[in-house]
Amino acid sequence: MTPSPSPGSVPPAAPDDPDAAAAHADPLDSANTANTVDTVDTVDTVDSLVLHATDNGVSWLTLNRPDAMNAVTWDQRERLIGRLADASADPDIRAVVLTATGKGFCAGADLRGAPPAGERVAGDVARMIRGGAQRLITAVLDCEKPVIAAVNGTAAGLGAHLALACDLVLAAESARFIEVFVRRGLVPDGGGAYLLPRLIGPQRAKELLFFGDALSAAEAERLGLVNRVVPDGELAKTAREWAERLAAGPTRALALTKQLVNASLDADRSTAFAAEATAQEINMTTADAQEGVASFVARRRPTFRGR
């Protein structure tokens, strides 16, 4: 995933140091660190760092770089974007779960294995953010299947925004959310200043973004950033239960509902009402909508097939 532009390269962090792990490396300086940082350059390696499994219509995407608190490389970011696009296009995938191994959900972005860049010129940083962090967040927001974040540990910087972009957020009791950008003297990127005010209002968002204090899972739930906090040992079980419920639902209706809710935050009433009417018009052509109406008339439980 694309990081915020930091002043220079950062050495790998120890697994028990989330603040250091959340520090961003500058992809535009990646050539200077090429001799000290292993790059991810084979399909097999990327597959081992972004685990993927499909079960009961659910696509499970698991960040697997626990020694770096799952700070995400350029290649991992591209793989996640690709997997989310695949989920949208595959009618047999009806929900997505995004989670991670180890103590951290995602400590931000680590692009020291990104393709080497030349001399920096004005506009490079903005271009890098648009093509990286913002593309990743957009891939989550625009995924046509509901996406659940199962936050198993620290979610910092872009890692926090990755979780908050998901449609539903489950958090283990040990999880923490940290807006680390201000600690580095940086502006939040990866959609942070867009997502947070829409979730908790502008003043609460400013408090988190201005101070950069670690937020416990319980406090995140209280503020409305998290749907539910569960004991650490029950996170995977709860995520599976929620995902399988979504996977058994009317998939196209859920996709249209997601689009309506996301768009409504930036729309006036007439635009939102027009979009709602159009979405229902489209939805009524689906087999699941017809099944829903037929089951209501027959007084039985519907069987949705995602079509």
Give the chain's length. Answer: 307
pTM of the full predicted structure? Answer: 0.84
Q: Which residues contact 270 (CB under 8 A, 6 or more apart)?
A: none
Closest CA to 154 of 104, 213, 226, 102: 104
Cβ neighbours, 10 Å, residue 265? 11
Asked if residues 143 and 87 have their Cβ atoms less than 8 Å apart, the reply is: yes
Alpha helices, DSSP H only, in 24-89?
43-49, 74-89
pLDDT of residue 40: 36
pLDDT of residue 63: 96
pLDDT of residue 120: 77
pLDDT of residue 293: 92
The tens digit of pLDDT for each residue in 117-160 reads 667 788 888 888 898 999 999 999 999 999 999 999 999 999 99
pLDDT of residue 170: 98
In the chain the first and final C-alpha atoms are separated, in Å, by 32
The tens digit of pLDDT for each residue in 68-112 reads 999 999 999 999 999 999 999 999 999 999 999 999 999 998 866
pLDDT mean by block of 10 residues, the chain; 307 residues: 33 41 37 31 70 97 95 93 97 98 93 65 86 95 98 97 98 97 93 96 97 97 98 98 97 97 95 96 95 94 94
